[in-house]
Amino acid sequence: MIKNIILKPKGPFLLKKLAGFTGDKIIGKSNIIIKNISSTENAINGSITFLDNKKYFKSLNATKASACIISEDVLKKYKFTKDISFLVSKNPYLSYAKLLNFFYPDTKSLKKDKKKDIVVSNSSEISNNVDLKSNVSIGDKTIINSFSSVGPNVYIGKNCFIGNNVSISNSYIGNNVVIQDGTIIGQDGFGYVLDGKKYIKVPQIGIVKIDDDVEIGSNCAIDRGSLNFTEIKNGVKIDNLVHIAHNVEIGENTAIAGQSGVAGSVKIGKNCQIAGKVGIVGWLEITDNVTVMAGTLVTKSLKQPGVYSGVMPVQNHKDALKFAAKLKR
């Protein structure tokens, strides 16, 4: 079911054609065939990936990609053991954004939805004023309330409840999922890159994947993955007014309280409790069985189970209490 809602790229294209489009130079084979754009870990033969941060260069030696967009600085400093071709760019992230537009031109389309490929179970209950767009499948005994919008590219499983004024696009939703009023799932994440003095939008082509028995409160926003998934795993509970950015992964049976924000590409483990007004900086990892107290700003990965608190910055809860005690003296 998931593959049916993932965008299909245009192409394939020769690497030299892509280089002509971005204005980058090629090091390696110019006639290799490129079929898609992918992250380093999910790339296959025929994929092109990108690397714009030196600390992730090791992932390139493990990738199956055929080509990589890279800066000359990184290429000079590190030796790569892979037989891989390079597009050498002054701004790899900008070149990546340009190629996404090349492979996925329809992400910019403002054409009216044609409302095709809609499958709705006879046992579901869909309010008359729900807007169903193209490529939508709705399972048995699912309820969708008034003024909600579903699609394009959405699969919803069995026994789900979707409240009023909910918007869902580019998403896979499992069974027994509850989504309360006003929540938006599967819209674009916050992806921009500077081109000179102006920002260029980085197309978002991934999806949101929500597993079984998940509950999501009112007026939340869960962004689609930039390339792959934003993933909410089995049994997760999310309070009202929570923002989950693109590429985030939330482990099984984790609960997140209201007004918390999780920045892009964060990984949160199983059985965690994130209290209200917690902010989590992008690209961090939080291990299983972690509790983060209310109002905490998490600025580093939390690799040990336990209770953490503190406003600036996060620290072990016992250390935070000692610090607070010193302030009272």
- Residues serving a catalytic function are 246
Our CA angle for 69, 75, 77, nearest 5°, is 150
275, 279, 284, 313 from 320: Cα distances, Å? 16, 17, 20, 10
Closest CA to 140 of 126, 154, 127: 126
> 223 Cβ partners below 8 Å, 6+ apart?
186, 187, 188, 189, 190, 204, 208, 230, 244, 245, 246, 264
Q: Which two tokens stand for residue 292?
A: 């983060």
Q: What separation in angstroms does the CA of 255 have from each of 33, 271, 276?
A: 44, 8, 10
The residue ranges of DSSP E strands in 22-90, in sequence order, are 25-27, 33-34, 36-37, 47-51, 67-70, 85-88
Place of tokens 């909600």: 148
Burial of residue 310 (number of CB atoms within 10 Å: 0-12, 13-18, 19+): buried
Pairing type for strands 25-27 and 85-88 reads antiparallel
Residue burial 164-187, b: 16+ Cβ < 10 Å; e: rest: bbbbbbbbbbbbbbbbbbbbbbbb
Q: List the one residue out of 328, 322, 4, 311 whose CA is nearest residue 154.
A: 4
Residue 149: its H or E element: strand 149-150
